[in-house]
Chain A
Amino acid sequence: MSAPAPTETELVGDRLDPGGIQAQNTAQMLSERQAIDASCRAPVLLFLGSSVFWLMVGTILALLASIKLHTPTLHSNISFLTFGRVRPAHLDMVAFGWSAMVGLGVSIWTVCRLCRVPLRFPQMIVMAAIIWNIGVAAGLYGVLAGQSNSIEWIEFPQYATFTLFVAFAIVAIWTIMTFTQRREKHVYVSLWYIFASMFWFPWIYATVQVLMNSPYAVQGVPQEAIHWWFGHNTLGVFFTPMGLAAIYYLLPKVIGRPIHSYALSILGFWSLALFYNWAGAHHLIAGPIPAWLITMSIVSSVMMFIPVTTTAINHHLTAYQHLDMLKFSPVLRFVVFGAMAYTLVSFQGSMMSVRVLNEPFHFTHHTIAHAHLGLYGFYTMVMFGAVYYIMPRLTGREFFSAHLMRVHFWCVAIGIVLMFFTLTIGGAIQGLDWNQAKRPLHDLIKEQGFISGLEAWFDRFKARQDQPIPFMTVLHEVLPYLWIRTFSGILIFLGHSAFAILVFWNLFGGGVTRIRTMLWPQKVSA
């Protein structure tokens, strides 16, 4: 664990031409890079550290909510621990506490790297991080104290919302200021994505606040069209671009090769901007909303195949020839896992928006599985990788335990895969038994065995019955899947605990001071 610090000769041995012209250039660049990382130190670490704290809060709330779904009477006499408050608190903590903060921290560092300028005006970013933390804490208090407005994704009371908005505005203004002072002429694709999210998020957030949660709210069901235009775009034009920006930077950087097709990445960006924005109303399929709107959203959801395919080609062909590195690089593990989950979740999302699948699966745990694969399997995994890449470069210390990093990876990877498949299958059974099947699948399997039971279940589908399977029967049929989900939640909690220990240990001075992997790249043997 505590290898001796490398000597000067060892370090020089890594270079292409020791003592030559390149070495001199390297020495100069080194100081520039060090200057960038040093300038990011306080503000970005503040963002990353806070985000990990909120991640732990969100994880505990998630575990509580998961248990309450199969054991509803647990602590039900305590008002702030009731399911209807814990569940939105979980969502808001992982969305605005963890995902937004870690995404902003990673994006700020990426902007500095890509613009090749040290972080100017660090006070602005520190201020933004503090205000954002206040906003999230106020929001958590508001939701648990019973001031939530029950509009999914914007449950925070208005004082918290406003605080977040101020903090976000500071970061957005800072981004533009940094951009204008950049030294790198080319605008890399990651910067496109980051700028897009910086512009789009305030737009959608302001729109939904004014039109749904203010005295100027629109009347009636158009609210819901706006709500899901926002809800879907929070994922689509805020979190997804930040996650993709991190992949597009980290993947080639870690491997040491440019991405497969840069032109495709630009095409992917613009087609995402076009189609994702239209996709929101597929949350309201068969609801009290004009049908043309929903059809439009289904079409553009299916058209999401274009940006997803381009992105998938790029990510996977870039990573494909360097899969051996997964063994050695923790960052690559998380990022490649995230890229694979992105491809899977996006194709699944397109399929799920089609009416024949959406109508039965909507309102079941199938949707919950999809949401977790997106925001967790893709976004959060990529951000784990980004934190592992960035933190040692900012603190100047390696993480103290490679074992704990492996524990983290395997716990969360197994946890999310288990959760996804459990809830996908459970939700599909739930939806089809509620809406289409003549008899519950579990009864058929008990009577006829697994294979023929499954066959009989599929055989007996019909558009609708006069006597649907009782609601409660189906609800109890799903319970075993919810227990497995809680188990997967415990795995994820263990993984997060390992992650939090690594991060805070590093933050507060633990870990070996080494510079090799951080500043001295390894030659690719191929």
Chain B
Amino acid sequence: MSALAYIFMFGLMGCLMLSVVYGLYWAVRRGQFSNFARGATSIFDDEEPQGFRTDAFPGESAKERKTP
């Protein structure tokens, strides 16, 4: 393996390592790990709230809605 390849690989490795360490630092600072329960519900909103399903076979949603 030539010296150039070593330098390339170590450079790439260093950059990526720095970026992931920064990503971790950022995540902790912003409180990404502080409230898991709330984070899990971040995909729901008023329009598609919890307790509502969002998929059905085409043309069958009306039929399904009548199911008690």
Contact = CB atoms under 8 A, between A and B. Distances in A.
A188 B54 contact: no
A446 interface: no
A3 B62 contact: yes
B59 A325 contact: no
Contact of B58 (A113, A186, A389, A399): A399
B9 A524 contact: no
A259 B36 CA distance: 11
B39 A328 contact: no
Nearest to A22: B46
B58 A256 contact: no
A405 B62 CA distance: 18
Given A210-B5, A210-B9, A523-B51, A203 B61 contact: no
Given A330-B57, A521-B53, 13 more contacts: A25-B46, A26-B46, A29-B46, A186-B39, A187-B27, A189-B39, A257-B51, A259-B40, A262-B39, A392-B58, A402-B59, A402-B60, A516-B62
Given A114-B43, A207-B12, A3 B59 contact: yes
Given A262-B39, A262-B40, A402 B57 contact: yes
Given A1-B59, A203-B12, A402-B59, A521 B48 contact: yes
Interface residues of B, number: 46
Contact of B42 (A186, A256, A399): A186
B57 to A, nearest CB: 4
Nearest to A325: B53
A29 B47 contact: yes
Interface string B1-38: 11011001100100010011001000100101100111
B58 to A, nearest CB: 4
A524 B27 CA distance: 34
Nearest to A331: B55
Interface residues of A, number: 68
Interface in A27-63: 29-30, 33
A514 B38 CA distance: 33
21 contacts: A25-B46, A185-B30, A186-B39, A189-B39, A210-B5, A210-B9, A256-B48, A258-B41, A328-B64, A329-B53, A329-B55, A398-B59, A402-B57, A511-B58, A517-B55, A517-B58, A519-B47, A521-B49, A522-B52, A522-B65, A523-B53
Contact of B48 (A16, A253, A325, A328): A253
Given A26-B47, A211-B9, A525-B67, A398 B58 contact: yes
A392 B36 CA distance: 31
Contacts of B43: 113-114, 188, 249, 252-253, 258
Pick the 4 closest A-B CB pairs, nearest first: A521-B52, A262-B40, A398-B58, A29-B47
A330 B56 CA distance: 6
Given A22-B46, A329-B56, A524 B51 contact: yes
Given A219-B1, A328-B64, A514-B58, A524 B53 contact: yes
Interface in A307-349: 325, 328-332
A293 interface: no
A425 interface: no
Contacts of B16: 199, 203
A258 B42 CA distance: 9
A199 B53 contact: no
A523 B9 CA distance: 53
Interface in A256-274: 256-259, 262-263, 266
Contacts of B59: 1-3, 398, 402, 512, 514
A126 B1 CA distance: 38
Contacts of B50: 256-258
B4 A216 contact: yes
A216 B55 contact: no
Contact of A254 (B20, B33, B53): B53
A400 B65 contact: no
B7 to A, nearest CB: 10
A193 to B, nearest CB: 13
Contact of B47 (A30, A262, A402, A523): A30
Interface string A200-211: 000100110011
Contacts of A330: 55, 57
B62 A216 contact: no
A189 B59 CA distance: 32
A262 B36 contact: yes
Contacts of B9: 207, 210-211
A328 to B, nearest CB: 5
Centre residue among A219, A400, A523 by max chain B CB count within 10 A = A523
A218 interface: yes
Contact of B60 (A30, A211, A218, A328): A328
A256 to B, nearest CB: 5
A405 B57 CA distance: 8
Contacts of A325: 53
B40 A258 contact: yes
Contacts of A401: 58
A511 B36 CA distance: 40
A255 interface: yes
B52 A517 contact: no
A389 B55 CA distance: 7
